[in-house]
Amino acid sequence: MTTAHDILRQAPVVPVLTIRDLKQAVPLAQALVDGGVPVLEVTLRTDAGLPSIRAIAEAVPNALVGAGTVLNGEDFAQAVAAGSRFIVTPGLTTSILEAAKGSPVPLIPGVATISELMRARDEGLSCLKFFPAEASGGAAALRAFAGPVSDVHFCPTGGIDLNNLEQYLRLPSVLTVGGSWLTPQDAVDSGDWDRIRSLAREACARVKQIREPAGDTP
Ligand code: 3PG
């Protein structure tokens, strides 16, 4: 079974997509994949969210598409039925836990505090979204969490972009980071897929530079 860890390890970064027009879903996903970013979080914040997940799952074979902004068990079930390969939530509720327990699709729940982190860990969840990252203490908070709890991993999201991702990626507990900076609304609305592809490439290059500094042996 593919775990959340397996999925996030494949992600240089995780773009958070809020798709307003279903027609944009496939070319947007294709541009991100072509730019080197295969793991995509499509939020359920718009009516186009679920159909976009379905369309990407069917038409972009190299994309690994998951659902974000999953708020309850019903959302979870619908997202899985649409073809989501992973589920991201902003927080953790009983309804979400119930849905996740019977599902082969991995859950990446949002946590912002040490108590939430401990609750998720009690439930056997060890791959977590740290959200909203910047507003919840940023990389300093994650560094502090790693004192008492060092066996969980994170995808911090919320307020992260090229300017501050390094401080997160330097932490051993961070697998990758997420954010919406790769998909500016004006570029999506105008179908500027070249710009999206360039933003994806730029993010990959930056992550590589941080993870594999020049001079390191392969
Ligand atoms: C999310 O849902 O994960 C956030 O809205 C993405 O945060 P950002 O827009 O600050 O990157």
The whole-number mean pLDDT for each consecutive block of 10 residues of the chain, a chain of 218 residues, reads 94 98 98 98 98 98 97 97 98 96 95 97 97 98 97 98 97 98 96 98 97 69
Three-state DSSP state, 56: helix
134 is catalytic: no
* 15 C-beta closer than 6 A to ligand 1: no
Q: For residue 102, what pLDDT is reported?
A: 85
pTM: 0.95
Q: What is the DSSP letter of 182?
A: T
23 is catalytic: no
**Nearest ligand 1 atom to alpha carbon 88:** 3
Third-level CATH fold of 4-211: TIM Barrel (3.20.20)
181 vs 203: CA distance, rounded Å? 10
Residue of 8, 13, 16 best suited for mutating to test ligand 1, as the one with most atoms within 8 Å of CB:
16
Tokens of 112: 């912002």
> Among residues 98, 123, 129, 212, which one is catalytic?
129
The closest alpha carbon to 37, from 12, 67, 17, 59, belongs to 12
Beta carbons within 10 angstroms of residue 160's beta carbon: 26
Q: What is the dihedral of CA 101, 38, 153, 184, to 10 degrees?
A: -110
